[in-house]
């Protein structure tokens, strides 16, 4: 009976999400949504507005928040970022991360069949109403988890991967420790239960969110606004309104319980730079979206990702007693810096290079350093390394060269 929602209720739900989905698709769909109170937000709520260019001027109502850049991991803003709080369904960022890693490692296939157990089917809260024994490919289950925060689908996949939800939660904690999430402890894969031991922080959520979006293909799911399962008979609706209304939004996960409040890990990308804004324990859905939007817009407005390079091509370095007379130095990878847009043109790049090398020379051998500074303050030091190996001349190589020189001289 759960799959037979009246058309009037469906229409109301669609209106509350602020979408013209019903008009775009001439099909009667049920909509699975996260079990939380929804709010109608005013027109223009998600549009960029004036944002201070200094973090000190930011007004973020969320009790706990953090803003991080994906590429460098630089933290641009934090507020009670290490306070341990209940994350609600934002928990599923770690669940999704473990799934993504298993897929990329080949341990799981997207067309692998997942069977729902009686335990998984009994999950409450956000769900797609899986029945015991119902089967779906992992691709569909993942869509249910990411888009509709389906607790039943999350548990079904967790059981498939680890044998039980408890065993999967243990793996979640192992991965959290590996990532340096020192203030996190998971007791389940959903965040549904208000377990007093199921706690994390805004900083730790940003860390696992950053790790998840490194799997770029996951954005095929995290950017879905509306979709269906069961051959179009059951609709999915994303509760993350940023996906629909905020420019560049790439995800990531909402959450709500009465104890955790309204939570969100929001990601967005513009001009090749991606940011993560985590807000926890907000008093309303509007407050969490306003807080996340403010943080993201501040980052996009004030910062840029610079990739400093030497002003001139690095000269080859002479090699003594080498099978090649020179080796080309190159700047090692990882030279990107997040800087304020107003400072980008003032970055100073200096280079120190070894004048000469003696063979043998290894590929990747450090031969110098590139220093980036601003106003006399060092921002980064990046190694300069050799682009290839240069073996040492053997005695036979030396003898042959001497014979060649003698022969040429004799002529």
Q: Looking at residue 362, which CATH number applies to its domain?
A: 2.60.410.10
SS3 226: strand
Residue 400 covered by a domain = no
Cα within 13 Å of Cα(40), Cβ side: 6
Which regions of 5-154 does DSSP assign to beta strands (E)?
A: 30-32, 64-69, 75-79, 113-115, 135-137
Residue 407 covered by a domain = no
Nearest in space to 108 (alpha carbons), one of 120, 99, 97, 96: 99
Q: In this predicted structure, what is the pLDDT of residue 194?
A: 77
Q: In this predicted structure, what is the pLDDT of residue 159?
A: 98
Residues 163 and 265 both lie in one domain? yes
Residues 268 and 339 both lie in one domain? no
Q: By the 8 A CB rule, do 60 and 291 touch?
A: yes
Residue 71 covered by a domain = yes
Q: By the 8 A CB rule, do 198 and 185 touch?
A: yes
Residue 310 covered by a domain = no
Q: How many domains does the chain have?
A: 2
Give CA separation, 334 vs 152, 337, 384, in Å: 41, 9, 11
Q: Choose one of 279, 303, 327: the last residue of a domain.
A: 303
Residue 401 covered by a domain = no
> Cα(216)–Cα(361) distance, rounded to whole angstroms?
37
Residue 100 covered by a domain = yes
Give the residue numbers marked as catalytic: 89, 92, 149
Q: In this predicted structure, what is the pLDDT of residue 31?
A: 44
Residues 162 and 220 both lie in one domain? yes
Residue 405 covered by a domain = no
Residues 108 and 238 both lie in one domain? yes
Q: Between 165-178 and 151-162, two packed helices, what is the crossing angle to 10 degrees?
A: 80
Q: Choose one of 278, 303, 328: the last residue of a domain.
A: 303
Residues 115 and 234 both lie in one domain? yes
Residues 290 and 205 both lie in one domain? yes
β 30-32/234-237 pair status: parallel
> Cα(387)–Cα(362) distance, rounded to whole angstroms?
9
How do residues 355-400 score in pLDDT, each as one tens digit? 999 999 999 999 999 999 999 999 999 999 999 999 998 877 667 7
Q: What is the CATH number of the domain that holds 152?
A: 3.40.710.10
Which uninterrupted H or E stretch holds 144?
helix 138-148
User: Please, is 394 exposed, middle or buried when counting C-beta atoms within 10 Å of its C-beta (0-12, 13-18, 19+)?
Assistant: exposed
Q: In this predicted structure, what is the pLDDT of residue 174?
A: 98
| Torsion (CA) 150, 153, 156, 161 in degrees, nearest 10 | -100
Residue 406 covered by a domain = no
Residues 188 and 63 both lie in one domain? yes
Residues 242 and 374 both lie in one domain? no
Cα within 13 Å of Cα(306), Cβ side: 23
| Joined tokens for residue 24 | 């775009």
Q: By the 8 A CB rule, do 230 and 208 touch?
A: no
Tell me whether the omega of the peptide bond preceding residue 245 falls within 30 degrees of 0, making it cis: no
Residues 292 and 154 both lie in one domain? yes
> Cα(176)–Cα(366) distance, rounded to whole angstroms?
33
Residues 232 and 268 both lie in one domain? yes
Q: In this predicted structure, what is the pLDDT of residue 366?
A: 96
> Cα(138)–Cα(135) distance, rounded to whole angstroms?
9
CA atoms 289, 294, 295, 297: torsion sign? positive
Say which residue the tokens 């601003």 belong to: 374
Angle at 286 between CA 57 and CA 240, to 5 degrees: 110
Residues 323 and 298 both lie in one domain? no
Q: Please give the average pLDDT of every successive group of 10 residues along the chain, which has 411 residues.
A: 37 37 33 55 63 78 97 96 97 98 97 98 94 97 96 98 98 98 98 91 98 98 96 93 94 95 97 97 95 95 93 94 93 87 94 95 96 94 95 78 65 50
Residues 185 and 90 both lie in one domain? yes
Q: Choose one of 277, 303, 329: the last residue of a domain.
A: 303
CA atoms 189, 192, 194, 199: torsion sign? positive
Angle at 167 between CA 166 and CA 169, to 5 degrees: 65
Q: Which domain holds residue 322?
A: 317-395
Which uninterrupted H or E stretch holds 263?
strand 261-270
């Amino acid at each position: 009976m759960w799959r037979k929602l009246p058309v009037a209720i469906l229409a109301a739900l669609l209106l509350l999400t602020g979408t013209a989905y019903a008009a775009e698709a001439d099909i009667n769909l049920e909509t699975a949504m996260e079990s939380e109170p929804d709010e109608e937000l005013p027109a223009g709520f998600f549009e960029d507005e004036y944002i201070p260019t200094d973090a000190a001027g930011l007004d973020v109502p969320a009790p706990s928040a953090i803003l991080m850049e994906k590429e460098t991991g630089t933290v641009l803003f934090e507020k009670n970022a290490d306070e341990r709080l209940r994350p609600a369904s934002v928990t599923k960022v770690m669940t999704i991360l473990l799934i993504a890693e298993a897929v990329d490692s080949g341990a799981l296939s997207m067309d692998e069949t997942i069977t729902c157990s009686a335990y998984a089917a009994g999950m409450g809260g956000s769900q797609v109403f899986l029945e015991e024994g119902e089967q779906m490919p992992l691709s569909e289950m993942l869509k249910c988890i990411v888009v509709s925060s389906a607790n039943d689908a999350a548990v079904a996949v967790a059981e498939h991967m680890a044998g039980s939800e408890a065993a999967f939660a243990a793996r979640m904690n192992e991965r959290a420790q590996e990532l340096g999430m020192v203030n996190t402890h998971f007791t389940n894969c959903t965040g549904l239960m208000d377990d007093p031991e199921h706690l994390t922080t805004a900083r730790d959520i940003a860390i696992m969110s950053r790790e998840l979006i490194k799997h770029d293909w996951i954005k095929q799911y995290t950017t879905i606004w509306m979709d269906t399962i069961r051959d179009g008979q059951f609709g999915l609706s994303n509760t993350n309104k940023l996906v629909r209304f905020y420019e560049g939004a790439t995800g990531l996960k909402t959450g709500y319980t009465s104890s955790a409040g309204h939570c969100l890990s929001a990601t967005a990308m513009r001009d090749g730079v991606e940011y993560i804004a985590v807000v926890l324990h907000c008093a309303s859905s509007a407050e969490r979206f306003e807080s996340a939007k403010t943080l993201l817009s501040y980052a996009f407005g004030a910062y840029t990702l610079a990739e400093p390079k030497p002003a001139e091509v690095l000269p080859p370095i002479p090699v003594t007693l080498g099978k090649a007379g020179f080796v080309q130095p190159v700047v090692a990878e990882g030279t990107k810096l997040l800087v304020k847009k107003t400072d980008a043109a003032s970055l100073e790049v200096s280079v120190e290079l070894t004048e000469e090398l003696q063979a043998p020379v290894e590929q990747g051998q450090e031969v110098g350093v590139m220093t980036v500074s601003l106003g006399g303050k060092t921002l980064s030091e990046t190694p300069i390394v050799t682009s290839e190996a240069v073996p040492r001349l053997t005695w036979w190589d030396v003898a042959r060269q001497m014979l060649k020189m003698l022969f040429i001289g004799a002529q």
